Amino acid sequence: MTVMEAGITPAGEGVDGVVWSILGQTYKPKQESESCFTFETLFPHGTFVPTHIHAAQDEFIYMLEGTFDLVLDGRKAQAVTGDLIHMPMGIPHGIFNNSGKDVKALFWVSPARSLRQLFEKIHNVADPAEVVRLAAQYEVEFLPPP
């Protein structure tokens, strides 16, 4: 697994220029090591990540710009610019941009596990059912709609 190196990932860029398009959202890896994987996101209005579980990772979101509607362990919540969202491993959570504007956020998971590999697999995959199928192979379980 990757050992973190000292350095700077420039603003607006992903490590090594990597940018993933995932179901209408943009993801840019900012840092990866065995202990943590960090990525910057852009969620256009109307995009979302349905309720899912990371069984072996804690996940965090720092809100850079905008408002997310969330489902956290079955409860509705809302996060705005400057908020930190924390989602312990095993807790169902969903992320929705219903704000009418783009949302920019910095996500990270700990430990890194295989989330980067999942993003590489689902980059430019247009079929949500295929994304769900692939996610299950990388320790992310999507739950059926309520």
- How many whole angstroms separate alpha carbon 62 and alpha carbon 82? 7
Query: From residue 33, how far is each of 41, 54, 82 by CA, in Å?
Result: 19, 18, 25
- Average pLDDT (8-29) is 95
Q: For residue 67, what pLDDT band results from cuts at 50, 70 and 90?
A: very high
- How many whole angstroms separate alpha carbon 68 and alpha carbon 51? 14
Nearest to 89 by CA among 50, 57, 51: 57
Tell me the pLDDT of the chain averaged across its residues. 95
Q: Name the β-bridge partners of 85.
A: 61
Q: For residue 2, what pLDDT band results from cuts at 50, 70 and 90?
A: confident
pTM tops 0.75? yes
* Domain residue limits, the chain: 18-142
- How many whole angstroms separate alpha carbon 12 and alpha carbon 77? 28
Superfamily covering domain 18-142: Jelly Rolls (2.60.120.10)
Express as a percent the part of the chain with pLDDT over 90. 94
User: What helix, strand, coil percent values describe the chain, rounded to 5?
Assistant: 15, 45, 40
- How many whole angstroms separate alpha carbon 51 and alpha carbon 56? 16
- Average pLDDT (63-74) is 97
The length of the chain in residues reads: 146
pLDDT digits (tens, 9 = 90+) for 27-46: 999 999 999 999 999 999 99
- 44 and 28 in contact (C-beta within 8 Å)? no
- How many whole angstroms separate alpha carbon 117 and alpha carbon 51? 20
pLDDT, residue 145, reads: 77
Q: For residue 1, what pLDDT band results from cuts at 50, 70 and 90?
A: low
pLDDT digits (tens, 9 = 90+) for 80-107: 999 999 999 999 999 999 999 999 999 9
